[in-house]
Amino acid sequence: MDKENLPEEILLFYLVVKLKYFMLINDKKLYEPTYKQIDVLSTSLNPSIEYIHFKTLGIFYYRTDNFLQSTLALEHALNLSNKLPFISEEDKAELYYQIALTKLKTSDSFESIYYAEEALAIYQGLYHNKRSAECHVILGINYIYSKRFELAEKHYLSAKNIGESIQDRYLESMALNNLGEIKSYLQQSEEAIFYYLESLKLKKEEERSVFSILGLVEEYYFLNQKEISKEWAEQGLSLAERINLKEYILHFTTHLYLLDKSDKIEDYILNEVLPYFKSAGNERYANKYTEMLAKYYYQNDQFKLASDFYNSCLQNIKSKMAY
């Protein structure tokens, strides 16, 4: 195709479809350069093209850990969708599903639950089992964060049952991992570890193993079995570095500093971890590591700094409750 002679609007549409395809096959080496080509083009006056454009950008920003930009792009796509004469049910469901995923990352649980339920209702009507199961997982995670464990477990078991019925090992492993998180929250460590290990057994793609490995790191740390926790953290870090998963490089490195009682942890959290999660709009992890730093200061008798960081966590939680 001679792209140089294409009208800019047609070129934009072509590149957006291309970007969506590269994300579908999860080829990061191809979709990053395609995004850069799109970024220099003007937006379209055609609302249908703009809807596809911004919905695809919302998915791209989510995949590249820029949740604030993902939110803005998806909100624009949602506004455009309300003005278009026709959008297929599957298209609506995809938009609602992506909004639910992004809102999960930004800790907007009420909206995440709302859009996950909207997407689930459509996918169930279309008999789209895989996506229905993934909606159950989103709902389960939200209910864990709001400590509604029975509801969370119900959704995870639904996802697990769907995974078994369609022989999808990924769905089964994801459900098992999240059942482990429920047991962890309930301080039922033996069961949590069992589910994390069962989840690991089913994973075909190495990238997804980091979720369960991080669960094992934290669970063994909670049990004060620090040598085992360290072994898993080292394994997780090696995997995250090999496949260049920035978020998990941060998680595992921080936990290794914590396990070694290294004074490097202060600088690392302040200059690497918090800027990353705040920039991404991931308030849940920003709060987690702010609290970890507050505990570090308290244990080192730096009570003023400890108080400041605990207060920062409190204010963030209050702002979300007010929202």
Q: What is the pLDDT of residues 241-259, one digit of tens each?
A: 998 899 999 999 999 999 9
Mean pLDDT within 131-159:
94
Question: What's the pTM value of the predicted model, to 2 decimals?
Answer: 0.81
Q: Is the pLDDT of residue 321 over 50?
A: no
CA–CA distance, 39 with 60 (Å, rounded to integer): 12
**Judging by beta carbons within 10 Å of its beta carbon (0-12, 13-18, 19+), is residue 12 exposed, middle or buried?**
buried
> Which two three-digit tokens encode residue 234?
């080292």
C-alpha pair distances (Å), 299 with each of 16, 268, 294, 295: 51, 17, 9, 6
C-alpha pair distances (Å), 271 with each of 131, 278, 283: 38, 11, 16
CA–CA distance, 262 with 290 (Å, rounded to integer): 17
Q: For residue range 197-229, list pLDDT tens digits in order.
A: 999 998 766 788 999 999 999 999 999 999 999
> Which two three-digit tokens encode residue 178?
């999240």
> Around Cβ 291, how many Cβ atoms within 10 Å?
15
Q: 106, 282 in Cβ contact below 8 A?
A: yes
> Which two three-digit tokens encode residue 230?
């360290």
> Which two three-digit tokens encode residue 14?
């072509």
- The more confident residue out of 86 and 312 is 86
Q: Is the pLDDT of residue 2 over 50?
A: no
Mean pLDDT of the chain: 89
Please tell me the predicted confidence (pLDDT) of residue 216: 97
DSSP state string for 252-320: HHHHHHHHHT-THHHHHIIIIIHHHHHHHT-HHHHHHHHHHHHHHHHHTT-HHHHHHHHHHHHHHHHHH
Query: Does the CA dihedral 76-114-134-193 come out positive or negative?
Result: positive
